[in-house]
Amino acid sequence: MPAINPRRECSCHTSPVAAGRFQEERVGGRPFVALVVAAVVLVPLHLYLRTWGWVGWLVLVALDLIWIVVLLFYIAERRSQSRFGLGHVRLDALSYNLGQPLVLHVRSERGLGGLQAIEVRVRCVDAVYEMRDTGRGEERERICYAVWQSEQRQDAKDIPATGEARFQLDLPAAGTFADPVGNHIERYWEVEVTRYGGASDLRFRVLVYAPTPPDR
């Protein structure tokens, strides 16, 4: 796939760098403890903010809705990991060169049966500093742009119920996509694995280098 032109703005993620394997983290007790602490704090807030009139009620409704959304997200993640087990991605190499195929294998502890599809995206992202209007005037912010992207999808009929699903995506050759521009911070390669059917996404970075020139 050619370079995205014009560059497409995307989210800046702080994904870990995978070294041969990326393991999904279990949703443990810390988020639950945070929810309990937030609920304990909300109880006296209800008694206090009710004295503010309609403004207090608006604040309470907003806080309650935020707490409920976080709770629902936590429950969904717990149910997903209970159903499929922890997911992981295994890479065929620790790093890649431009122009080479990137091969990875997707698996879950309890198998892939039940998923509707798996989609893998590989994108090259440039992080830059730009001046953006924040409502208080212009401020210097970190902005990310996707300059190249490739994706591959396997539907349920092609996904093995047990074992691994294999994906191979060809990286672009050097010089076939956009060079960094502007106040450049870094360029990184990000892999995003979307598991349709209830499982959470897996996101991590891979190491991609320019090919080593041949010795003369």
Half-sphere exposure in the Cβ direction for 215 (13 Å, CA)? 0
* DSSP annotation string for 149-170: EEEEEEEGGGS-SSS-EEEEEE
Confidence of residue 2 (pLDDT cuts 50, 70, 90): low
| Residue 141 tokens, joined | 């912010």
Q: 14 is written with which tokens? A: 């702080």
The pLDDT score that the predictor gives to residue 96 is 94
**157-207 pLDDT, tens digit each:** 999 988 899 999 999 998 888 888 888 899 999 999 999 987 888 999 999
The residue written with tokens 């394997």 in the block is: 21
- For residue 178, what are its two tokens? 């956009």
pLDDT tens digits for 68-126?
Answer: 888 787 777 777 767 777 889 999 999 999 999 999 999 988 888 889 999 999 999 99
Among residues 203, 192, 191, 200, the alpha carbon closest in space to that of 84 is found at 200
Contact between 103 and 91 (Cβ < 8 Å): yes
Q: How far is CA 145 from CA 10, 14, 120, 125, 152, in A?
A: 5, 14, 19, 5, 21
Helix, strand, coil shares, percent, the chain, to 5 = 25, 40, 35
* Range 80-84 contact pairs with CB under 8 angstroms and sequence separation of 24 or more: 80/198, 80/199, 80/200, 81/24, 81/26, 81/27, 81/200, 83/110, 83/114, 83/198, 83/199, 84/108, 84/109, 84/110, 84/111, 84/112, 84/114, 84/115, 84/195, 84/198, 84/199
The residue with greater pLDDT, 207 or 33, is 207
Quick check: bond before 6 cis, omega within 30? Answer: yes
State which H helix or E strand residue 71 sits in.
helix 54-84
Query: Residue 133: CB partners within 8 Å, gap ≥ 6?
Result: none
Is it the case that residue 53 has pLDDT exceeding 70?
yes
User: Rounded distance, CA 91 to CA 23, Å?
Assistant: 11
